[in-house]
Structures are given as C-alpha cells and as structure tokens.
Structure 1
Amino acid sequence: MGLKSARVKLQRSLRAQAATMLPPIPPEIWRYVAQFLPTATLLTLFSVNRVFLDIAREARYRAVCFDAYKTAKPLAKQLGNSSFVHTVRIQPWLIRAKEYRPPSGWRILYSCVSASAHNEDKYESQMQLVRRVQKQTRLLADTIRGFPNLHHYHIDWDEGPVQDEFLVAVLDALIPTIGRNLYSLNLKIPLRHMLALPNLSQYLPRLETLSLTIHTGSHDAQDVAQRMEGLVFFLNCLLRNLSSLTLNTTPTSMYLDLGVLFAHLAHGRRLKAFALCIPFDGGHLPNPKSLRRFLMQHSPTLESLTLETTRAAACPRPSATSNYFWIRDAIKDHHPPFPVLANLSLALRPLRTDLSPLLLSLSGLCSLEQLKLGERPLEFVELWRLLEVLSQAPKLRKLNVRVRWLSPEIVDALAACLPQLEVLQLDFAEIIHCEPGSSVTSTLSQDSRPTELALFCAALKSRCYPHWSLTRLAVPESQREPIRWLNVLERVFVECIPALGRFEELLVV
C-alpha cells in the first residue's frame, strides 16, 4: 500500500510540475487554428478541450433549418436559448391530422345506433388538427424567440399547401419580436400573406439585405395589383437603409407586371447591390423602362448588379418579341456608366442576336472586378470582341463565361487580353485542337473526340504563359462517356501556366 501511495503522489507531483511548466494555451490561439479547419473536422474535435467544444457548437448551430416537425422538435430541445444561432431557415410544411386508427368495437356499435357519431368524429378530427397546428407553431416560434443573436431569417415556401396559421406564426407574429436584430431577411411567401408586409416594416430598423421571391400563381390581375401596392409600400420603407436588394419571380406567376413596381420604388441612397431574376422572355417586365430608370437612379452607388433569368413565364398571352431584350434595354445608354460597379452578372439568353449594346455598356466600366456571363455559349468571334472590351478594365480579376468549345486560340486570347486575371471559370461542352474551319463541323463525332483532345493537349504543351497571373482555373468534366478530360487538362494547364495553383471541376447547375 505504501508503494502504491507513493506512486500516486509522484503522478500528482508530475502533473503539477507539467501544469506549472506548460501554461494553458489562450483561447484566441485555438480559435485562430480553427479558422483553417473544415467544418466537418471541427465537429469531431469537440472533446479536445472546452474551447473546441464551444467552437464545435458554434459551427454546428450557427445556421439551423426547420423543415419538418419530426426534426424540428429534437433540434429545438438541443438548442434551447442558444446564443450560437445566427441564421434560421424555415421551410413551411403542411400539418396533417394523426393517422387514422380503426375504431374499437364499442365505437362501431355506438355509430350504428347514433346518427351523430359521424359528425362527432369529423369535429374531433378538426379540433385535433387545430391543436396540432397550435402545438407545432408554438414550439417553432418560442424556439426562435430564444435566439438572442439571430441576424439572418429565411422563410422558403415551396409553393405547396400550408396552413395560414403557420405563416402567421413565423412571420406576422414573430417579426415584431426578432425583427430589431435582423440584418438579413429572405422571404418567399404566398401572395395573400404579402398584405402583412407593410405593417412589419416598422420592426426592421437594422435590415440591410432583403431578398424577396414573388409568386402570384393564378390570382387575377386585380388581386395581384392590390397586393403589389402593399409591397411597394413595404419596399419603400426599407429602401432607406438597405444595402442589398434581390427580387425574384416564379415562372408560374400570372398577371405579374414588375414595371409597376419599379415605377413606384423610391431611391435607396445606401443601395450597393441589386439582383433581379425573372423569366427570360420578359413576361413579368413588359416595359423595361421603369427598371432602366431605377438602375440609372442608383448607378452612383451600385457596386454589384445581377440580371438573371428563369424559364418562360406562364402568361395568358405570349410575350412580345421586344420583351425578350429586357436586359439589353435595361443596361444600355447609361450616361454616365456605373462608376463604382465591381461585380456584374448577366444572362445572355435574352441577348441571342447582337452583343453590341452589351459590349458598349461594358466599355465604360473601369472599376469592374468580377464578370459573369451565363446561359448561352459564346462563339469565338463574340468572345474576342468581349475580350477586346475587357482589356480596358484593368481591375478585372475574376471571369465566368461559357464558350461553345475550348480551343488553344481561346486560351491564347484570354492570356493575351487579360494578363491580370486571377480566377477563371470556363464552361464548355467540347474540346477542339483549332478554331472551326472547313474541316471542323459544329458537332464532333464520337470517334473524333479523343483525337481532338489529344491534339489540343499537344498544342497546349508547346505554349507557355509566364506573364499570366491566373491562380485558379475551373472547367467542367466531360459529360460524354467514356471520355474524361479533367485530369488530363489539369496536367496540361499546370505545365503551361506557372502561376496556376488551383485547378478544380466547375459544377454546372
């Protein structure tokens, strides 16, 4: 016993000496190390020490999503009054009554002798559904109210059936409580609930970012017009402080005219970013003049502009041909051009004919740093004209563009015209060894693709771009079996571009 006691004392003495020799590492050091670890790795390090336990909790609960009661109930118990939660996303779900259970023998006998048994069962089922709605919405609302650091709130309705009480609980009744701490709000709600938006604007004094998806469905034109009046009031109340505004419409929206909305929007003196996504045929913007006026009004402050499209609108009447050019008409002839615009993203699908108005608009953007042109591939001649214009943008560092095919001439043109480019996202479906001539058809045959890939690699191996600042390149993988060119292209591009440090697959949505 004496030997064992002496061993224990020695161990305690060694621990005490180690504690005195190795002072505890400050939490700031651990948090600095955690910045370089992936989220999945952080979640496994909660048992290292108390600091990593807090870091793992922050990483896990910084953004939470409630999309079903089955998962929302245990998540609410885990969170409690969590100060880690900064972002909440809600996908409203349809609350149903409990599953039907076969009645007992006594109940069957009672239903045979009582004519009111069926009505009683129906009433009980309705009351049960009411209680379930109240229970689930109360749990959800009480949980969200307990997040003191909630700054980003997102309601993403999937256009399916949902109880009105659900949306009232998470929008009308909740915003007055949590709204004063919100910096970002993202809403997609049914049209009938937009009537509540004007009253909610007073509870959002710190809101800086607003994203709104408008869905009118099959509502008639008069009903849509009434709701839009309330939406205009809501936006005008918030535009005074907004720095970012995003407006989206669903293709299934009928009788929707955003021209009326833009015609009545006020001036947002702090607006730095604007994004609009509507059907490509311009069905929701019959007259783009009001959008153009809105952009001209905010051009002195806009640093980011995004104009994207979805599929054609489900309008009662087909859109006029002139509506297809809503992007061209919205950005052309801006005098002066956007003086501080740094990020521009445009959909080229409505610009299938002549790119001259687009190129003219780009020629005056001297502060442009990022450019994305999507939704249709560019021919080599179009790309060359674009690069000639972009060569006058000395600050351009990131380019996302889609071409018909990849060729050595395209790589040469990019390196020659944009030597300062650092990030390139290049989308294409084919690879050829030279730009099309009489010997190259518009569509490659299955047998010629491996040959074209080999010739392209051989042509690129004889080139070198020592003055190209490109550090990151993303290209798509081949979609045709059995050809896979990603690994081959990586080896070739790393050899001919000395500055290239990151080559990755471009995921095309």
Structure 2
Amino acid sequence: MPTPDLPVELWLEILGLLPRSTLHKMIGINRTLFELALDDIYREIRFINDDKEMVKSFKQLKHTNIANRVQHLFIRPAFLPGMDEDEQRGSFRKILSSGLTCVKSCLGITSGSEAPEVAPPSPSSKILEAASKAVKLCPNLREITIVLYDHALTAAFAVFLNSMWSLDSVAPNLLKLNIDTTLVKIPLLLNPLILCAEQLTNLEEIDITLSVTRFRQPEEEYRRAKLAIQSFLTVFKGTIRSVTLSSSLIVDLSSLYDGFPILTKLRKFDLRAIFRNETLPDVGSLTRFLSKHASTLEHLVVKTRPRAATIERSDETYIKWLNPIGKPASGKQHGFPQLVLPALRSLDISLRESDQLGMWPYTPESTPKQRPPLPPLSRVTPNITSLTLQDVRLTFARVSEVVKSLRRREGGTILESLNVSVDVLTPQFFDLFSSELPRLRSLTVDHIDLSSSVGEYVLRDAVSHSHPFFELATDFPLPSPVDLLSQRHPGSQIPQLAVALPPGDEALVLKLFSSTP
C-alpha cells in the first residue's frame, strides 16, 4: 500500500531549513518536489550572453509549462560593445567614409551616383529578436532587472527593451523594475517607460542604483537623470508602493528629493547613499520627503553606504540629520527627530559612518556621552514593531538607551523583532531584553566576543525558566558552555537556539552570530 505524500505546506517548511541546492537533488522523489524544483529552476531567466545556451533557454519558453514558471527576467548584456569601442567604430567609419569620398572625387564619380549608407546589422540582432518573442510567452513575469554600465546602448537593444513595454508583452503584469546603471543611461531607460505609462498599470516597485562610470560625467548629465527620475515618479505616483534608491555618486541629492512628488500609496522607502555636505547640502530635503508620506510609510531603510563598494564615506552630515544637538528653528523640519511616522512598522537605519569621528556610539563606557544613538523612537516611530541596527557595534549602554527610548506613553513597548550588532555579548543583554521587550518574538545578535559566562548563562536560565520567554525547544544535543566559548575560529557560528514562550504565546526565535575576525 503506497504511503500518502506529505502536505505541500509541510514540504515547504522542510525546504525552508535546507540549502537551496538540496531541492534540485530531490527532484525525483515525488511530484510535489518535482514541481517545486522546476519552479525554482525556471523562476529566473538570466539574459547575459548571446551564445547557444541563451538561444536554447529562449526556445524552451515555447513550452507553456516552462514559460508559466518564469517570474523574473535579469538582463545584463555583456555582448554589447563598450562605449569606447562604439566611439572608435564611429570614428573609423567616418575616416573610411571620408577616404572613399576622396577616392571617388579623384575618379570623377559624382555624389549623385553614391548609394545611401546603410548601417550594418548588429551582431546581437538575432538573439534580441528571439528574446523579445520569448518574453511575450511568459504570462507570470512580474519582475525585471536591467544592469547596464559602460556599454553602448545599441539601437537593436533599445528596440528589445521598448518591445517589453507594450500591451502584448510584459507591461500589463509587471510589478517591480530594478535598474542599475550610470547617469547617462537613466533618461534612456526611464523615458520610454514614461511614454508607456498607460500599459504599465500595475507597476508598484522601482529600484534605482546610480553607479560610477569610467567616463567623465558633466553636470548636465545629472540634471537630465534627475529630471527623468522625478518625471517617472510623477507619472507613476498613483501606483508606486516601494522606492529604493542607491547612489555611489557625489552629487546633490537634496534637489532630487525636493522634486519627488507625493506618492499616495508609498509603503516602503529604501535609501542607500553617501551622506556629505556635497550630497545633502539641505538636510531638510530628506526630512520633508519622509514627512509628506508619514501617513502611509510602513518600512524605512536608511544606510550611509551604497550597495556597491566605494572608497567614499559619509561624514558628520548624517549624524546631524539623524540626531542633531539642539532644537531646530521654530516651524522648520531639519532632521529625523522632528519627524512623526505613526504608520511606520519597520526601521532599518545606520547610526554613523566612521569611528574616527570620535562620537557615539563606539566609545568606552567611561567616555562622556555626547548624544544618544537615536532620538526617542517612541515619539518618532510610536508604532514600530521591527528595528535593525547592524552597521555599528554597540556597547550595552548604547543598546540600553535605544531599547528604553522605545517606551511609549501608554507604557511598555510593542517591539516584536530586534536585529542588533554588539561588541561583547553578555548576560546583561538578555536581562534587558526580557524586562524591556515583553512582546519580542525574534532576536538576532551579531557579536565579536562572548563574556566568560554567557554560554552558561543562556543554557542555565533557559532550562530553569528564570526569564519568562526562555524555554528551550531544541531536539539536538546542546553544547556545553565551554564548547560555546571555544567556537571563535573563523567561520564558526554559535548554534541557533529555538526558544518558545509559555503555552498560548507565539515562539521567539533567537539567533546568535559570531563575527570574530
């Protein structure tokens, strides 16, 4: 008698605990895993090369069973010529053309007998045509990523991109668009979308990364890029729910924020940029933008580093915005403390950039405090349930200041998730979280070192239930305190402890990560 298969929900729970590659190895076990593996394999199509493998991938999309699984199209055309190569080819054609003209004039050939110059077909025309047809066969395609740096935007590639914004292609179903490019390409990529706004009726998320280039960028290029971004948001202001902006450039972002329209459905704003006087000459511009969306904004991410690695660093400009000393002029909003974001539920924010500033929060306990790490969060974000502070390692005193700033006037805190980075993990942290965060459901602590008794502390108090939410729920043998303390070699991790609240309450997930260099 065949054994009945497990429910799909249970399989998904099991797979969530295993590496992604494991699913592909289990493809032949049963029909459920077969379908899940195919979903994972064909969920994303990566259009990078113009080789035979890419042609094969596009041909596979003619099968409905495969095309229906595609949800994400990643485009990074490595086959396009470089901008310098394109310029060299153009110069060579001009030289060749002038040379032929000279020869013809010497032979007495008149200009009237010359045939019009026809541009040679692009070597990538065939693969781009195949891609355009294949994309139209994917009814569940919801996300597109375009990565284009110092490559020339050829006419054939532009035609391919524009073909996707038509009604018979991706446009009606597209939910998210990610663009990672240089300033000069921003108008070329966004302006066609503006013209096709009537087809892109469901576009909800836009993610723009402004990357550096090897070529000189005149100020006029930034003006055009800024205008294109502002125009794009203006056209889609009624549908956009999430905006992500990452910039590695030293340009005036204040004027960019001031030109943003009110996005009536904005739920998430993610900013990753270099905070300097050159990039944020008017610190109030960011505050004004956030204030305009206070009634709808639920998730806020502010990072002082862009996604891409860069030698540029933020300075005290960010500190002055995050938690300035002194009060602003009456009626004016300058910094983060002047905001009130009642709808905000999740906050992931940098504290400051450089230890060399000699300011908070990375100071010995004996050093006089110049300012708290954050303004009173109970006033700025009264309904926050998730807080992430991972960019700077905090001392116990600094973490205590942050946690206590969450106390609301009604009493207590409603924080359910905390992700924090500390120097030395000590028992005092768990006392603090237990007493000040009664609703905590998820705790992630990244640390460099452990106190001499922390392993014993966690295990002993978990077993004895000294704290109301520490009840071990693990099925694996627990290491001894000595084992916990000895795991300091590179790559080691403190075992994850799954702990649960008393019966009737939700589970609390506790994760301890060692970052010993």
Give TM-score, length-normalised by structure 1: 0.71
In structure 1, how many angstroms separate the alpha carbons of the residues matched to 2:152 and 2:487?
A: 39
Give the residue type in structure 1 aligned to 2:227.
E
Note the 1:42-441 alignment, pairs <5 A.
Answer: 42-44=23-25, 47=28, 53-70=34-51, 71-80=53-62, 82-95=67-80, 130-157=121-148, 159-165=149-155, 167-176=157-166, 177-196=169-188, 197-201=190-194, 202=197, 203-215=199-211, 217=213, 218-250=216-248, 253-254=249-250, 256-281=251-276, 283-310=278-305, 321-322=316-317, 325-328=320-323, 330-334=335-339, 337-350=340-353, 352-353=359-360, 354-356=370-372, 358-392=374-408, 394-432=413-451
In structure 2, how many angstroms separate the alpha carbons of the residues matched to 1:50 and 1:480?
A: 43
Deviations 1:261-289 (Å, cap 9, x if unpaired)? 11111111111111110024464322221
In structure 1, how many angstroms separate the alpha carbons of the residues matched to 2:392 and 2:57?
A: 43
In structure 2, how many angstroms separate the alpha carbons of the residues matched to 1:472 and 1:400?
A: 21
In structure 1, how many angstroms separate the alpha carbons of the residues matched to 2:473 and 2:176?
A: 31
In structure 2, how many angstroms separate the alpha carbons of the residues matched to 1:95 and 1:67?
A: 10
Deviations 1:456-501 (Å, cap 9, x if unpaired)? 334555544431269999xx999953895724xx68x969999977
In structure 2, how many angstroms separate the alpha carbons of the residues matched to 1:355 and 1:146?
A: 57
For the 8 Å contact 2:374–2:402, the answer to whether it is kept is no
For the 8 Å contact 1:283–1:319, the answer to whether it is kept is no
Q: Kindly state the Cα deviation for residue 505 of structure 1 after the two structures are TM-superposed.
A: 5.9
**Counterpart of 2:425 in 1: which secondary structure?**
coil
**Distance change (3 Å), C-alpha of 1:257 and 1:470:** farther
Greater Rg, structure 1 or structure 2? 1
Q: Number of aligned residue pairs: give it.
A: 425
Q: Kindly state the Cα deviation for residue 93 of structure 1 after the two structures are TM-superposed.
A: 1.1
Q: Kindly state the Cα deviation for residue 95 of structure 1 after the two structures are TM-superposed.
A: 4.1
Aligned to 1:468: 469
**Distance change (3 Å), C-alpha of 1:86 and 1:221:** same
**Counterpart of 2:448 in 1: which secondary structure?**
coil
In structure 1, how many angstroms separate the alpha carbons of the residues matched to 2:379 and 2:352?
A: 21
In structure 2, how many angstroms separate the alpha carbons of the residues matched to 1:277 and 1:289?
A: 17
Aligned to 2:105: none
For the 8 Å contact 1:280–1:350, the answer to whether it is kept is no
**Distance change (3 Å), C-alpha of 1:42 and 1:288:** same
What runs of 5+ residues in structure 1 fail to find an aligned partner? 1-17, 98-114, 117-126, 433-451
In structure 1, how many angstroms separate the alpha carbons of the residues matched to 2:58 and 2:227?
A: 37
Q: Kindly state the Cα deviation for residue 423 of structure 1 after the two structures are TM-superposed.
A: 0.8
Q: Kindly state the Cα deviation for residue 134 of structure 1 after the two structures are TM-superposed.
A: 1.2
Give the residue type in structure 2 aligned to 1:219.
Q
| Structure with the largest fraction of helix | 1
Report the more deviating stretch, 324-333 or 351-360.
351-360
**Counterpart of 1:285 in 2: which secondary structure?**
coil
Q: Kindly state the Cα deviation for residue 220 of structure 1 after the two structures are TM-superposed.
A: 1.4
Give TM-score, length-normalised by structure 2: 0.70
In structure 1, how many angstroms separate the alpha carbons of the residues matched to 2:163 and 2:133?
A: 11
What percent identity do the matched residue pairs reach?
Answer: 21
Give the residue type in structure 1 aligned to 2:274.
P
Deviations 1:107-158 (Å, cap 9, x if unpaired)? xxxxxxxx99xxxxxxxxxx9995422123223222222212211111133x
Note the 1:11-26 alignment, pairs <5 A.
Answer: none
Say what the alpha-carbon RMSD is for the aligned residues.
4.1
What runs of 5+ residues in structure 2 fail to find an aligned partner? 83-98, 101-117, 324-333, 361-369, 475-483
